[in-house]
A and B are shown apart, each in its own frame.
Chain A
Amino acid sequence: DQQVKQNSPSLSVQEGRISILNCDYTNSMFDYFLWYKKYPAEGPTFLISISSIKDKNEDGRFTVFLNKSAKHLSLHIVPSQPGDSAVYFCAASARGTGNQFYFGTGTSLTVIP
């Protein structure tokens, strides 16, 4: 049972434009969300997080939006750069689960120069 879903396996965007990566979850107990970025042959690296008490968190070119009623979050990258080309995973955790995160299947982003 996939509790975190990323329905777009891949996304291509022109350099300088906005990239929007989407993530949906089913467990209403999830209250903390992360985005990880993964390059080939490397482990995932933490990118940005958001708590359920917020609906937006921004860090430089990266902004994560959370819509709790829709159980949906999105990652916006503006402007997109070729170095952003990677696989992006969203992950969700519920308080009291010992920091256990459930991961989506990932979206492969390609930024075209």
Chain B
Amino acid sequence: EAGVVQSPRYKIIEKKQPVAFWCNPISGHNTLYWYRQNLGQGPELLIRYENEEAVDDSQLPKDRFSAERLKGVDSTLKIQPAELGDSAVYLCASSSTALYGYTFGSGTRLTVV
């Protein structure tokens, strides 16, 4: 079984530029999460999808962040414009509703310079 796939693995951009991250969850997993992990911290939830519906986006900074999950499978997370403080690892995770806990991808390490 393929795991959660994220791309790119690394991204370096200048501040004020846009950036997008892509996630392909485990096949059959209805729930998809985007987490952000700052250096020395634990992952913090940005948004949770149940199929194609964003059911919890309360922690997503909506002025510059957006996300979508078309057809309830792949998802993209976008930042526009990026700020220096957005430098972090962005983790995607997925789970089946029958399971508790979830599987993470390898993450995208974003550096904003």
Where the two chains meet, the residues of A that have a C-beta atom closer than 8 Å to any C-beta of B are 4, 6, 9, 32, 34, 36, 41-46, 49, 89, 91, 93, 98-101, 103-106
Other-chain residue from B40, B43, B50 in contact with A44 (beta carbon distance below 8 A): B43
B42 lies within 8 A of A106 (CB): yes
Residues of B within 8 A of A44 (CB): 43, 91, 104
B42 lies within 8 A of A104 (CB): yes
Complex Cα spacing A34 to B40, Å: 19
A43 lies within 8 A of B40 (CB): no
A89 lies within 8 A of B42 (CB): yes
Interface centre among A6, A9, A36, A99 (most CB of B within 10 A): A99
User: Which residue of B is nearest A9, CB measured?
Assistant: B40
A101 lies within 8 A of B50 (CB): no
User: Which residue of B is nearest A34, CB measured?
Assistant: B101
- Interface members, chain B 41-97 (any A CB < 8 Å): 41-45, 48, 50, 55-56, 91, 93, 95, 97
A42 lies within 8 A of B41 (CB): no
A-B contact pairs, 15 of them (CB 8 A): A4-B42, A43-B6, A43-B91, A43-B106, A44-B91, A46-B102, A49-B100, A49-B101, A98-B31, A98-B50, A98-B55, A98-B56, A100-B56, A105-B42, A106-B42
Residues of A within 8 A of B45 (CB): 100-101
Please name the 10 residue pairs, one residue from A and one from B, whose CB atoms are nearest each other, closest first. A103-B42, A43-B104, A43-B106, A34-B101, A103-B43, A44-B104, A105-B42, A43-B105, A104-B42, A43-B107
User: Which residue of A is nearest B96, CB measured?
Assistant: A99
User: Which residue of B is nearest A44, CB measured?
Assistant: B104
Complex Cα spacing A34 to B56, Å: 21
Residue B111, interface by CB 8 Å: no
Task: List 7 additional A-B contacts (Cβ < 8 Å) besides A44-B104, A45-B104, A105-B41.
Answer: A43-B6, A43-B104, A44-B91, A45-B103, A98-B50, A99-B95, A103-B43
